[in-house]
Structure 1
Amino acid sequence: MDKVDHQLNKVKLRRTLLKTRQSMSIREWREKSDRICKLLQASTLFTEAKTILAYFSFRQEPDLSPLFADNQYRWGFPRCIGQSLHWHSWQSGESLQINSYGIQEPHPETPTINPQEVDLIIVPSVACDRRGYRLGYGGGYYDRLLSSTEWANKPTVGIVFESAYLTQLPIQPWDQPLLAVATETEFYINS
């Protein structure tokens, strides 16, 4: 399969999965999101972490916001600057701003988080597969982050609903597998 076919497959798959996710009722979305939070909280990757990078739910991604009120963790959230993600501290109750994609993010003056401080990265995904590969939104932000030397060995957990946990995704040489995937039914550790 050539590169053009491969990219078209990813685009079609992404579109189909996003449509499925957004057709979920608010009640079902909330219940499944809450179950993902519970499974994540029960994992040792989570309980042993001190500084966790996460995301604010957008377009009916699984919502992890109930976790963010737990101040025993230091929470970091991304700001998109150019082609990179920059991580900033945020605590429940602090104000946020909306970026050009329509996604909430911390204000630029909030403290930054350096790679050596991070214990766990929670990665938003359109889909994940049983090998730990993820289908993102096509911008390459997390692929660039996870392939850079200072971030490459950080534990990562992809977050998807079970309907988007697939047997196998089309991958590219630069795709970085995640250590684990959390859905509303199970916490999968990838081998």
Structure 2
Amino acid sequence: MNIRQNIRQKRRQLPLAERINAQHAIYQRIIQHQGIKLAKNIAIFLSFDGEVETKPIIEYLWQQNKSVYLPVIHPFVSTHLLFLKYTPQTSLIKNKFNILQPALNVLNVLPYQKLDIIFTPLVAFDERGYRMGMGGGFYDRMLANYQNQQILPIGLAFACQKVSHIDNQPWDIKLPEIIYA
């Protein structure tokens, strides 16, 4: 079994009490995070396949009057993401990976360069901040020049997703911060 399959299985099999405790610790770090307090436009993902549950984070961001954006696979460039505004009224559809995303409406698109924070999904990560995603390279392509855009990418994970070393490639983007418990 490869590392991606192994970590996804560990994440899915995390005992409920452990999952709840870890998510609570992660939520507390988000609430106390200075960068999040100052941010206006925040991208986040809808949880899938045992990931940290993001619905409570989204609810908190809405309560703090933050604009929340979800990733959508670009309709013409299928290797890229668009970010669409997400509100409680937004209708969701399943994409080609069976992940919920907003129905495409160009009026709700925000160029990713205007995001302050991008919560980034990951399968595994190491101490250096390298992440392993699902293998599509969507976030690595988008974040290639994030330092020039004043964007703060933040990974969200459970401690069981931490590995000793990710064999990173030159195009892999190192995250400056990963919130995990």
The alignment's TM-score, normalised by the length of structure 2, stands at: 0.88
Divergent runs of 4+, >4 A: 148-153
In 2, are the aligned partners of 1:17 and 1:127 still within 8 Å (CA)?
yes
Hey, what's the Cα distance between the residues in 2 that align with 1:151 and 1:98? 32
Hey, what's the Cα distance between the residues in 2 that align with 1:133 and 1:57? 20
In structure 2, the partner of 1:29 is 19
Alignment of 1:80-91 (within 5 A): 80-81=73-74, 82-91=78-87
Given residue 125 of structure 1, which amino acid in structure 2 is its aligned partner?
L
SS in 1 for 2:125: strand
Count, aligned residues? 174
Distance 1:149 1:16, change over 3 A: closer
Given residue 120 of structure 2, which amino acid in structure 1 is its aligned partner?
V
In structure 2, the partner of 1:146 is 143
Distance 1:28 1:84, change over 3 A: same
Alignment of 1:10-29 (within 5 A): 12-29=2-19
Whether 2:64 is the aligned partner of 1:47: answer: no
In 1, are the aligned partners of 2:70 and 2:101 still within 8 Å (CA)?
yes
In structure 1, the partner of 2:155 is 158
By how many angstroms is 1:34 displaced?
Answer: 3.0
Hey, what's the Cα distance between the residues in 2 that align with 1:39 and 1:140? 27
Structure 2: 5+ residue stretches without partners: none
Residue 99 (structure 1) aligned to one of 77, 89, 95: 95
In structure 2, the partner of 1:79 is 72
The alignment's TM-score, normalised by the length of structure 1, stands at: 0.83
Hey, what's the Cα distance between the residues in 1 that align with 2:83 and 2:56? 20
Q: Percent identity?
A: 25
Distance 1:151 1:33, change over 3 A: farther
SS in 2 for 1:67: helix
Structure 1: 5+ residue stretches without partners: 1-10, 185-191
Residue 108 (structure 1) aligned to one of 104, 125, 135: 104
